[in-house]
Amino acid sequence: MLKLLGTALFAAALALPVAAQTPRPDQAQFRALYKELVETNTTHSTGSCTLAAQRMAAHLKTAGFADADLNVFVPPGFPLDGGLIATLPGSDPKAAAIILLAHLDVVEAKREDWTRDPFVLIEENGYFYGRGSIDDKSQAAIFTDSMARLKAKKPPLRTIKLVLTCGEESGARINNIRWLIDNHRDWLNAAFALNEGGSGTLDAQGKPQTLGFQAGEKVSQNFRLEATNPGGHSSMPRPDNAIYDLSRGLVGLADYQFPVMFNDTTRGYFGAMAGIVGGDTGKAMTALLANPQDVAADAIVSKNAAWHSMLRTTCVATLTEGGHAINALPQRASANVNCRMFPGDPAANVQAQLVKAMGSTGVTVTAVPPVNPTPPPPPLTPLVFGTAKHIAAKHFPGVPVLPMMLTGATDGRFLTGAGVPTYGVPGAFLAEDSGMHGLNEHVSVAGLYAQRDYLFDLIQAYAATKDTQ
C-alpha cells in the first residue's frame, strides 16, 4: 500500500504545476547551474563546448576543487570543442574509480522554428524548455552539481571522475571520447562509467510505468551501395540500367529481415515486459524468447517499431543519387544505407547480409569508413544493476527497473569498447513529445529534480564500495 501510494505521489508531482512547488535551496542552486549550461550555446555551427566546460569548471572551483583537479582539455586544432575532466579523489587509492560521463554539445536549433528561444531556459507550466534541456545538459548539470555536493562531504571510497565531452551529436568536428581514448587513455581509467541512455516509460495516464537501466547499445555503420553501367544514349534503352539495378537491390533490402538476436540485456527486458504488457503481445514475447526463429511471434512483437529495432540489426536506405544527364543512360547509381548493428554483430557479417539482400542485381556493397566496432553489452553485475534497483526502490517505489538496450547510440559504445563498462543510468521519464533532437525540447521540472535526487544517492552508493562484482 505504501509503495503504491509513493508511486501515485511521484506521478502527481510530475504533473503538478511548477507555480505550486517551492524549490528547496539546493534545488534552486542546481537550477542556476542548469540554466547557465542550457543558455551556453554548444551547437557545432555557432556554439562553444570549451566555454561550457570552462563555466562548469568555474562552478567546481567555487565548490572547493583545486586547479590540479580541473582539467579543461582542448583537442589541438579544435578550439571550440573542449571538454572537462574533474577529479574528486577517493580515500582508498586501491579502489577503482567511477566515471560520470555526459556530453556538452547539442543538436542544432533555429530560433524561427521554435515557439520559445532555444537558448534561454524557460520554466513554464511545470516544464523546463530549451535546447539540451534533456539531451544531455540535464545529466551534465546533475553530474556537475553532484560533484560540488560531494566535495562538501567526507571523501568517498572511490575516486570519482566527471568527464564532460563534445562531439557526441552528429556533425561533430571531433569526438572527444574517441580523442581521449586515442591520446589520453589513462585519464579514463575506471571500473565503470555512468552515462545517459537510461530512461523510463509513462503509461497512458502519464504515470511512471518502468525505469530503464541501459546496458548496451546498437552501433551506427554506413554502407555504400553502387551499381555501374557503360551508359549510352537515352534514345536506346537497355535492360542493364544502373538506376534500375540499384532500385531492385533496394527493394530486396526493404524486404529483407535481419534475424532476431538476444543478449542478457534484451532477454531481461522482454522477459519483464511480457508480464507488464500481457495479452497476445506478452505471450509473443515469451514465445520469441524461447524460440528466436518464431516468425509469428516476431510479427506480433515487431508491430512496435522500437521493439522491432531492439530485436535485431536494422539497415535502411537514407540517401540516393544516380545518373549524369537527363538525356543519357545512367553510368552510376548509388545509395547510402545506414545500419544500426546489434551489439556483437560485426560489420563484416552485416555487410554479408546486405550483399545477400541485394541478390543478383550486381550492386556492390562497401563499408564507409570508419568501420565501427560493436562491443557486446557490459555485464549487469549485482553491484551495478543491483545497486540501481535498490536505490530506485527508495525514490520510485513500485516502479520496476528493467535492463534496456538503446536502438540509437551514445559515446558509451566507445568507452565500453575501450574497456570501461558504461551504463545509462535510470531516473528520467521521457514523454514521446519531449522534443529531444526536435522542436521545443522540454523536461518536467519535478521529474528533473527527482532524477537529480536519485542519481546523487546512486553515485554515493557506488562510490562507497570497491566491490566490482
Per-residue model confidence as pLDDT tens digits over 158-215? 999 999 999 999 667 899 999 999 999 999 999 999 999 998 888 888 888 899 999 9
- CATH architecture observed for domain 2-197+410-463: 3-Layer(aba) Sandwich (3.40)
* Cis preceding-peptide flag for 467 (omega within 30 of 0): no
Single pTM value for the model: 0.89
Residue 317's DSSP bridge partners are 337
What residues does each domain of the chain span?
2-197+410-463, 219-367
Query: Do residues 403 and 265 make contact, with C-beta atoms less than 8 angstroms apart?
Result: yes
- Helical axes 49-62 vs 137-151, angle rounded to 10°: 20
Query: Do residues 444 and 126 make contact, with C-beta atoms less than 8 angstroms apart?
Result: yes
Using 50 as the pLDDT threshold, list the residues of the chain that sit under it.
1-20, 469
The rounded radius of gyration (Å) of the Cα atoms in the chain is 24
Q: Looking at residue 20, what is its pLDDT?
A: 45
Strands, DSSP E only, in 360-463?
364-367, 401-406, 422-424, 428-429, 442-444
Q: Looking at residue 205, what is its pLDDT?
A: 81
Q: Looking at residue 283, what is its pLDDT?
A: 98
Determine the Cα–Cα distance for residues 140 and 129; give it in Å rounded to an integer. Answer: 16
Helix (H, G, I), strand (E, B) or coil at 234: coil
Determine the Cα–Cα distance for residues 413 and 343; give it in Å rounded to an integer. Answer: 9
Burial class for 261, CB neighbours closer than 10 Å (0-12, 13-18, 19+): middle
Q: Which CATH class is domain 219-367?
A: alpha beta
Q: Looking at residue 467, what is its pLDDT?
A: 65
Determine the Cα–Cα distance for residues 259 and 280; give it in Å rounded to an integer. Answer: 21
